[in-house]
């Protein structure tokens, strides 16, 4: 099982927001590196991102099941 944040990167492009701006506005200093590596992060971090981008959690991440 893998977590993918590709939806987050696409949404950021659509909303014209870069990683630095998202990190500052959401207050998620150390999580951006983990997100970039598709590593798991705390649910609180994802909630802060959703609040900042005005979206739901399924808009920024998905679980990929390996076959």
- Closest by alpha carbon to 12, among 25, 24, 22? 22
Mean pLDDT value of segment 46-67: 94
Three-state SS sequence of 4-49: ECHHHHHHHHHCCCCHHHHHHHHCCCCHHHHHHCCCCCCHHHHHHH
The whole-number pLDDT of residue 14 equals 97
The predicted pLDDT at position 1 comes to 80
Phi–psi pair at 3, nearest 5 degrees: -100, 135
How many residues does the structure list for the chain? Answer: 67
Q: What is the pLDDT of residues 57-67, one digit of tens each?
A: 999 999 999 87
Could you tell me which of 9, 7, 5 has the C-alpha nearest to residue 18? 9
The whole model's pTM is what? 0.90
Residue 30: what pLDDT? 85
């Amino acid at each position: 099982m893998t977590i993918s944040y590709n939806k987050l990167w696409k949404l950021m492009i659509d909303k014209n927001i870069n990683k630095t701006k998202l990190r500052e506005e959401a207050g998620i200093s150390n999580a951006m590196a983990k997100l970039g590596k598709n590593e798991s992060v705390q649910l609180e971090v994802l909630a802060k991102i959703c609040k900042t981008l005005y979206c739901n959690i399924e808009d920024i991440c998905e679980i990929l099941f390996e076959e």
